[in-house]
Chains A and B, each alone.
Chain A
Amino acid sequence: MLDIIFAELVVAAIITFFVREKLAAIIAFFISLLPLLALLDWASNYGFAIINLGIENHMKIYLAGVTLHLAITPLSWFFALMILPLFPVIMLYSYSFFKENDGFFALMLLSLFATFGILLSRDMLSLFLFWEMMSWSSFLLVYRSKDKNAIMSYLIFSVFAAFAILFGIIILWHENSSLLLSDILNISGKLGFVAIASIITGFAVKAVIMPLHAWAPFVYSKCDEPFVAFLSGGLSKLGYYGIFLFLFSLKGVDILQNYMTNVSWNYLLAVFGALSAFFATLIAILQDDLRKLLAYSSIGQLGYIAIGFGIGTPLAITGALFQAFNHAFFKAILFLAAGIVAYRTGKWKISELGGLAYKMPFTFMATLFAIFALAAIPITSGFASKWLLYEAAIQQKYVFIAPIMLIAGVGAFLYSFRILYGVFLGENRHDSVEEAPKSMIAALFILVLPLIIFVVFPGYMLDLMKPALQAAGIESIAHTKFAIETSLAKYNSIAVLITLMVAMIPAFVIYKARKHRVTSFEDNYLAGEPYELHKPAMHAANNYYKPLKKVLLPYLEPGATYYFEKIYNGIKCVSNAVRRIYTGYVQDYAIYVVLFLLFVMGWLIWI
């Protein structure tokens, strides 16, 4: 079945390149459902209980003398559940987003092909091949933005990541003489440490952990929104998939720890995650560009997953996977909603927007819900994941990481409200704007569904990830359908929800007891000034967190991007110096040849 799906994806990618945009969207939508069907098929065949398929059940591709192994595992099943549903939704959204077919759908299908391949690959070679395919197809999508910063930074960081991963894989292959992921890594000491560390570094680029995040703000803020939704929602999760695979499924943690016993390498990952959560949140608060804000917020929220993997207890890993799942959905909603706003108004600056909530109520509602999930309000599933991570940090007595995580959580309120107020509330400046097309609204609300399901039943989510954790030898934490129990406390979602509904009754009574009338926006208190007279500017979103900016900016100013730019400029200087040898004069080249010959001769004589 897998080979059929792969073939169909490629064929559809080619076809969608040539047909008109609506037809391409429809084809892409139906084709992108296929991998999901494969998942369902797998679930019905094997159930959730099966740990790992034996090597005889792998699908094998013989390619130029090597064998690629493909099969589904519990871990990839869980990650597929969070990444693959994004594709049909994005295709549905793109149905009305694009004015003409310029290859978006074909490249998206190729990305889907590669993503599916990464999740299914059972040996390192195919993992690397599909990883590269994904990097290149997404690079072509980035290239469509025509923004030099985005293209260059994405290219350089992707290549760096690919080299790091390849380097690690080669070492592992050389020492282990097997590329299969089902074999236990039989490597230790310095080489093992270098291999695992470089692979983790490579995946951390796509997982946007803080010092390696520098490409993300450029790319996220310049590309097409449907693609960015995949980039932030899906692609970053693939980075974490890789980290999980090598750290926990292949027991890379032990290799790292055995080499240097006095340093806690786990803790280091958690610290990097905490720093990304903290600093990215503070930077996001100060952004005025909607896409930049969401980009930094992505980095911050993904930092939590790194913290979870870093803490490394069953509780923390459960929380991290839950957070990854939530993030895939709510961040996709936010990016798609930002796309809708730009689609309707053509503006990205928060201070230029405003008052869209009454014009686009459905977009607003979906965004509001996503923001509830992002800010971990306990009426969405966003809370359970953050709660698990906090619990894990307290359980391990991580006194440095726990406060940072919590304060980053509070910071999330600040930038969420900047979106809500700046874009959707306040003064309405766009009279002719209307609600987004139905397909876009449908896309948003499909993505809201999991956030609702898993707040009512957080236990189901833990059930879903149980086989993945078991396969990696991690015990799952105690839970029932509605409640999660840890050694420190218990979280019962249904109690919160029911109490909230009951508590709504007095509020509703007060609301209904007296009639109210709805007044127009113009009828606002302006110290007695009639609005019609001068029509003063009513939107306070310009430079919204100015006092905070004044305090924080001196501390945030020389960021990681600054140092990367320094490195970039340094390399440019060196390259320019090297380029000087190409003078263009034949005499110079002749001298080079003579010098080279002299050097060779001298060398031969020396030998």
Chain B
Amino acid sequence: MDMIGIAIKITILIAYAIIGTCTGLLFMGIGRKIVARVHNRVGPPFYQNFIDVAKLLSKKTNISHGWIFDLALLFSISGILLTLLFLPIGGVQLLSTDGDAFLVLYLLAIPSLGFALGAGASGNPNAGVGVMRALVMMLSYELPFVITLIALMIYYDTTSLATIVRMQSINGIKSWAITMPPFMIAAFAADMALQGMLMEQPFDIPVAPHEIASGPMVEFGGKYLGSLMLYKAIALVAETTLFVDLFLGGGVVAHGNFAFVINFIVWLALIFLLFALSILIAASFPRFRIEQAFGFYWKYEAIIAAISLIWVYIMVIK
């Protein structure tokens, strides 16, 4: 019996990984379509990104710069899959029954660090500059994000994502964190942080194609670039899911036997809405300079997040 249970769990895990990848690629395609419509273009078909990945993975020549360069491929895909599997998706968390928000934050760093290593190993100066920008961006957007995260943790008195989701799903939509005034503010700050996490405009500074020739990816081609696209697709799902788990109750609206189907659909709709929002912002804003982005996050966003944290602290102390 136990073996069967494990087998089922592994099957579901694989299914989740595949669904996560496919959803990410699909969203990226739809995102391109949305941007095209904003530009008054026709845009590529929604399945364009599947074709792109297939093409990249079937390239005949693949150029590497040594074994450290290859670490990028290995670490990025495995790290981001790991993160995805530790997140509650539609209220269901498969691994680590009491998974932890700090753990997820640090797991998210594994693929980025892997890619940074690969980019650095290529020896291209553009890659070095790109990674520098990516890391400074990370330092920038993490401050407001971390403050909002702590506000949530203090309010719910837990650091476990699963518990946060559970406590928000008691009364369906009414108990979502975003319905409370302090968390509305926090959600705004976190959404801006999400924009930076997704590296969409105005925060696509690290991969600026015309300034630094797409930054860290400058030497990536073939299977390496393909794995980067897969990583980006899964990261998109993982990061939006993190936001949904924190503020939108993980998309949990129903309880019962087959509730997970409804929850899953709601989760999908919510992450799509988040992604569409970030794409719309991206399509209508030009790029910041890195100092401007840093100032934006550490001055305005951090103050907004801090207001929500103080508000929550006063609520909790009472």
Contact = CB atoms under 8 A, between A and B. Distances in A.
Q: Do chains A and B touch in the complex (CB under 8 A)?
A: yes
Interface of A: 355, 357-358, 364, 368, 375-379, 383, 387, 390-391, 394, 397, 399, 402-403, 406-407, 410-411, 413-414, 417, 420-421, 425-428, 488-492, 495-496, 499-500, 503-504, 506-508, 510-511, 513-519, 521, 523-527, 537-541, 544-545, 547-548, 550-551
A490 B160 contact: yes
Contact of B313 (A355, A397, A406, A410): A397
Interface string B74-98: 1111110110011000000001111
Contacts of A537: 125
Contact of B139 (A407, A496, A550): A407
Contacts of B150: 394, 399, 402-403, 406
B261 interface: no
Given A377-B109, A427-B123, A507 B57 contact: no
Most chain A CB neighbours (cut-off 10 Å) among B70, B73, B78, B289? B78
Interface of B: 17, 57-59, 61-66, 68, 70, 73-79, 81-82, 85-86, 95-103, 105-107, 109-110, 113, 116-117, 120-126, 128-129, 131-133, 135-136, 138-139, 142-143, 146-147, 150, 153-154, 157-160, 163, 213, 218-219, 222-223, 226-227, 230, 289-291, 294-295, 309-310, 313, 316-317
Q: Which 10 A-B pairs have the closest CB atoms?
A: A425-B120, A540-B128, A516-B62, A507-B77, A489-B160, A503-B78, A503-B81, A490-B98, A540-B125, A421-B120
Contacts of B290: 547-548
Contacts of A407: 139, 142-143, 146
Contacts of B116: 417, 420-421
Given A407-B142, A413-B135, A488-B158, 7 more contacts: A383-B106, A413-B113, A488-B157, A513-B57, A524-B123, A525-B213, A547-B133
B223 A514 contact: yes
B231 to A, nearest CB: 10
A510 B157 contact: no
A516 B160 CA distance: 42
A548 B63 contact: no
A161 to B, nearest CB: 34
Most chain A CB neighbours (cut-off 10 Å) among B74, B75, B79, B123? B123
Nearest to B149: A406
A496 B123 contact: no
Contacts of B289: 547
A518 B120 contact: no
Contacts of B142: 406-407, 410
B63 A426 contact: no
B106 A378 contact: yes
Contact of A491 (B100, B136, B138): B100
Most chain B CB neighbours (cut-off 10 Å) among A375, A377, A488? A488
A458 to B, nearest CB: 13
A366 B290 CA distance: 32
Contacts of A510: 57, 73, 77, 223, 226-227, 230
A353 to B, nearest CB: 13
Given A399-B154, A403-B146, A510-B226, A518 B66 contact: yes
SS class, residues of chain B in contact with chain A: helix
Most chain B CB neighbours (cut-off 10 Å) among A426, A527, A545? A426
Contacts of A539: 125, 128
Contacts of B125: 426, 537-540
Contact of B294 (A403, A517, A547): A547
Nearest to B83: A503
Contacts, number: 233
Contacts of B64: 516-519
B167 to A, nearest CB: 13
A376 B62 contact: no
Nearest to B134: A417
A397 B317 CA distance: 9
B136 A545 contact: yes
B123 A508 contact: no
Contact of B62 (A402, A413, A517): A517
B159 A525 contact: no
A387 B100 contact: yes
A524 B126 CA distance: 10
A490 B102 CA distance: 11
Contacts of B77: 503, 506-507, 510
Contacts of A516: 62-64, 70, 222-223
Nearest to A407: B143
Nearest to A357: B68
A414 B123 contact: no
Nearest to B116: A417
Contact of B159 (A394, A518, A548): A394
24 contacts: A377-B110, A387-B103, A391-B102, A406-B102, A406-B146, A407-B142, A414-B136, A420-B116, A421-B128, A425-B128, A489-B158, A490-B97, A499-B82, A499-B86, A506-B77, A506-B78, A507-B73, A516-B64, A523-B63, A525-B124, A547-B133, A547-B290, A547-B294, A550-B291
Nearest to B120: A425
A524 B124 contact: yes
A513 B160 CA distance: 38
Given A421-B128, A511-B223, A516-B62, A496 B160 contact: no
A403 B110 contact: no
B313 A489 contact: no
A357 B121 contact: yes
B89 to A, nearest CB: 15
Given A516-B222, A525-B213, A540-B129, A425 B136 contact: no
Most chain A CB neighbours (cut-off 10 Å) among B98, B294, B316? B98
A516 B132 CA distance: 27
B128 A488 contact: no
Given A387-B103, A551-B294, A414 B135 contact: yes
